[in-house]
Amino acid sequence: MRVSHTVNGIKLRPGQSEDILLDIATRRLKKAPAFFRILKKSLDARDKGDINWVYSIEFSDCPPPAAAPLPVVPQKKLPASPVVVVGSGPCGLFAAIRLLDRGVKPIVADRGDNIEVREQKTAAFAKDKIFDAECNIQFGEGGAGTFSDGKLNTQTHSRYNREVADIFVRFGAPEEIRYLSKPHIGSDNLKKIIVAMRRYIESAGGKILFGTRMDDIVIKDGKAESVVFTRGGKTDVVSPRFIVMAVGHSARDTFEMLLRRGVSMRAKDFAVGFRIEHLQKKISFAQYGEQYKLLPPADYKLVSHTAAGDAFTFCMCPGGYVVAAAGERGGVVTNGMSNYARDAENANSALITPVGRTLFGDHPLAGVYFQRRMEREAFSRTGSYNAPVQRLEDFLAGRKSTFFGEVKPTYPGAALAECKGILPAAAEETLKAAVTDMDRRLKGFASPDAVITFPESRTSSPVRIERDSRCRSISADNLYPAGEGAGYSGGITSSAADGLRVADAIVERLLNGED
């Protein structure tokens, strides 16, 4: 009979070998374990004089039983054109992988290009501001998260979260993402993993169509009868049994089209602000003290509640860059990115405050229009896709910056500019109060030379496409709004998890013979 042992709270000093963990298991069993794994690894830095890695491990004298395979849809139950997945971000890719694993061969359509072409186009935009409205940091293989830190931590407690990590490891992610308390893949590794996912989808019988934009949908009697795609200047009409809408949070023209066609949606609250950059070594010292060189680059997560309002940091990227993330012509958008090593000079995060329908109105697309106004206002301050930036000291004093101090902006083409009025006045005041408040918990956060880059406007989707408990649109029961764009996730893990959830819902429908 297999007996599994768990040991919690094992502490290792920075620099100590993890081989000690295996030694603990061997001593407990009085022989080398046949099965051993780390369940959790986190850093306890509450006392800078006594920083430790804290582990939980599991081990046994025999391997665990293999997991039972998921039921597969028999070929006789498959329609000729079963599923079209619109979008190849985390939600769309994981939905496609799950469908294939369960016997369903989907078509994946993405308006952008594959990752190889996408990298070329994003580099051209960063360097020369050559903008492609269909393929950029927002659109293309891998979705917006491809050019991020590849963070996998999530506030959700979905039963799918463990599977998301397992699937990432299956396609090349480091094993550690299964147990780190703050797992990340890094933008550089994420791109390789996405290519591996594409190759699997194609080799297993699925199709991926890049440069293929969804332009229309025909809905009749509560069913989506067909989808109209534009590819290479030509239109193509497809009539799938089911449609997974995983278009991402920036597919504004798609939201507009769906609303025109009667798909029920509503405006959703989100948050806006700016990117703030500090020297990474100073953040690490503030968090860890003198031992910071023995530890990974430090992150932070800060929340502020002041009389001016609530604010919080978001998508913190240690040792990273602020990237040019425009998804529409004539607008400036920022985002943060780190590679796996997190070895760049600056740390950055979004500093944002919630905004909602009391500010921008109840129309389903009111949040979209609100975002667009901010992004175009930022564009007008520099007359280009160069982002307006300020030193933090000058932002707090309400004046335009004339020089940079020790922190240099990493946004490609940052320009000193008048930034007042890009954000709503109330949001500006909230963020000013938050900076000072957060400095009490993270010394140096309010450093005069910190650089802020405007605007951080696309923290999450500004809409929610209404669906029922079975993940079906309330307007068309074979349409499955999914992921961040539909308003049901935020970030890579929860988006991928929603892709798995929706794919399973479709498979169960096929297995049950439902129309």
pLDDT in tens, 154-166: 888 889 999 999 9
Find the farthest-apart pair of alpha carbons in the chain and give their distance in angstroms, rounded: 72
| 476 token code pair | 């068309």
Q: Which CATH number fits domain 4-60: 3.90.1150.10, 3.40.710.10, 3.30.70.2700, 3.40.50.880?
A: 3.30.70.2700
Give the pLDDT of residue 67: 87
pLDDT at 357 over 80: yes
Give the pLDDT of residue 186: 95
Handedness of CA 414, 419, 423, 427 (dihedral sign): positive
pLDDT tens profile 449-468 = 999 999 999 999 999 999 99
pLDDT tens profile 291-338 = 999 999 999 999 999 999 999 999 999 999 999 999 999 999 999 999
47: confidence class by pLDDT, cuts 50, 70, 90: very high
pLDDT tens profile 377-431 = 999 999 999 999 999 999 999 999 999 999 999 999 999 999 999 999 999 999 9
Half-sphere exposure of residue 45: CA atoms within 13 angstroms, side-chain side: 20
Question: What distance, in Å, lies between the first and last C-alpha atoms of the chain?
Answer: 46
pLDDT tens profile 60-112 = 999 999 888 999 999 888 988 899 999 999 999 999 999 999 999 999 999 99
Q: In Å, how far are 194, 291, 472, 501 from 100, measured between CA atoms?
A: 16, 47, 20, 14
For residue 89, which amino acid is it? G
Domains of the chain by residue range: 4-60, 78-265+465-511, 269-456
For residue 293, which amino acid is it? K
Q: Which CATH architecture has domain 78-265+465-511?
A: 3-Layer(bba) Sandwich (3.50)
Give the pLDDT of residue 514: 85
Neighbouring-strand partners of residue 416: 389
